[in-house]
Amino acid sequence: MPPMTLVEPTGRYLSFVEREEIAILRAQGHGPREIGRRIGRDASTISRELRRNAATRATNPGYRATTAQWKAEIAAKRPKEAKLVTNPRLREYVQDRLAGSVRRPDGTIVPGPTTPAWKGLNKPHRQDRRWATAWSPEQISHRLKVEFPDDESMRISHEAIYQSLFIQGRGALKRELVTCLRTGRALREPRARSRNKPQGHITADVVLSERPAEAEDRAVPGHWEGDLIIGTGRSAIGTLVERSSRSTLLVHLPRLEGWGEKPYVKNGPSLGGYGAVAMNAALKTSITTLPEQLRKTLTWDRGKELSGHTLFALETGTQVFFADPHSPWQRPTNENTNGLLRQYFPKGTDLSRWSAEDLEAVAHALNNRPRKDPRLEDTR
C-alpha cells in the first residue's frame, strides 16, 4: 500500500482520527446514525464513508481506518481523466443524445436547415440553428439509469457533461456540441428572461378563474395550453401542450393565397396565416384528431388570433379560457415548451417554409425526450 498522509484536512472532509472513531464504533455494532451523533457528523456522511472506503478483500472485510484513509486519498487525487474520455461507449451515448438526427415517426431523417460552421460564438441571432435530438445533460444523466440499470459504468452527472462541453482541456466532447444545447451559449453565463406582453379583449366567462378545477392539478388528461411562436414575415407556428402528459402538437399555419402579392388593406383579412379565421381552421384540424375526452379545455394567452374562440368551442366542443394579462406563468407547460421549440425555430427566421410533416417530426422528437417526472415516461 502506498504511503498515506495524516495531515489534518479541512472540516469538510473526514480526518484520520474521525475514521479511527468510526472503525471502533462500527466494530461495536453501532449504525450510521449513532456513529454520526457521537462524532458530530451527518448520518449520510457516515453511510457514504462505510460504503465507499470499507476494505474489500475477502480475507479481511470490514471498515478499517488505515484502508479508508488510503482509499479516500486515492479518490481525491487531481487531476483526473474525465469519465467521457475513458469510456468510449458512454461518450458515444451522450453525443448521440445531444447531437443525433431528428427523425420522422417512420425513422426517416429530417436534415433541417443548412447552417454555417460553428465559430465559437453564441447561437446566431434570428438565424437558423442546427436541428438535433438535443436532450439536455440532465435528461441524458437520468435516462442512463433507466436504460442501463445494472451497468454502473454507464453513469454520469449532468454537471460532468456540461464541464466536458464548456471547460477547455477536459477533452471528451467537441466544443461545437454546445450548439445542440437549448440555450446555444458558447460560455456558461446567465441571461435575462424575456417578458411576455399578451393583449386582447376577453369576456368575463372565459377568464382563467372560470376554468374547471380539475385542469389545475393535472390529474385528469384533456386540458391543453396553447400559444404561437412567431417568425419573420408574419409567419407562425401554433403550439399545443397537454397539461397532464406534456404531449405537444404543432399546428401548421401556412400563409394564405395572395400574401405578399396584394397591397396591404387596413382592417382587411389577415393573410399571414394566423388571423382569426385561419387560426380557427388550423386549430380545429389539429385538435379534432384527438378523442373527445382528450380535448376538454384550451388555455390561451391574450393574443387576438383566437378572437373567434366562441365558434371554435362550438365546432370542437373544447372550451377556451384565457390567462390573465402579463401572466405567462399561468400557462407554464406551454411557455417551457415554446422555449424548447426555439432551438428548432429561432426568432427572426421564416417559419412558413416548414411543412406539416416537418412540424410533426419536431413534435415527435420533443415528445420522445426523457421526462424529468418518472410518472410521465409511460405517457409518451
Domains in the chain with CATH codes: 16-76 (no CATH), 83-180 (no CATH), 204-379 (3.30.420.10)
Cα angle at 282 between 302 and 348, to 5 degrees?
65
For the chain, how many residues are written?
Answer: 380
Please state, as a whole number, how many other Cβ atoms lie within 10 Å of the Cβ of residue 339: 14
Chain position carrying cell 405517457: 379
Question: Does residue 18 or residue 276 have the better pLDDT?
Answer: 18
161-185 pLDDT, tens per residue? 988 888 765 557 888 888 888 888 8
Q: How far apart are CA 172 and CA 162, in angstroms?
A: 11
Closest CA to 46 of 65, 33, 61, 60: 33
Contact 248, 241 (CB under 8 A): yes
pLDDT at 334 over 90: yes
Q: How far apart are CA 97 and CA 374, in angstroms?
A: 18
The DSSP call for residue 255 is P
pLDDT at 195 over 50: no
* pLDDT value at residue 9: 59
pLDDT at 194 over 50: no
Contact 180, 107 (CB under 8 A): no
* pLDDT value at residue 354: 93
* pLDDT value at residue 269: 61
What single letter denotes the amino acid at residue 27? A
Please state, as a whole number, how many other Cβ atoms lie within 10 Å of the Cβ of residue 281: 14
* pLDDT value at residue 324: 86
pLDDT at 142 over 90: yes
Give the pLDDT band of residue 139 (cuts 50, 70, 90).
very high
Q: Is 0.75 surpassed by the pTM of this model?
A: no
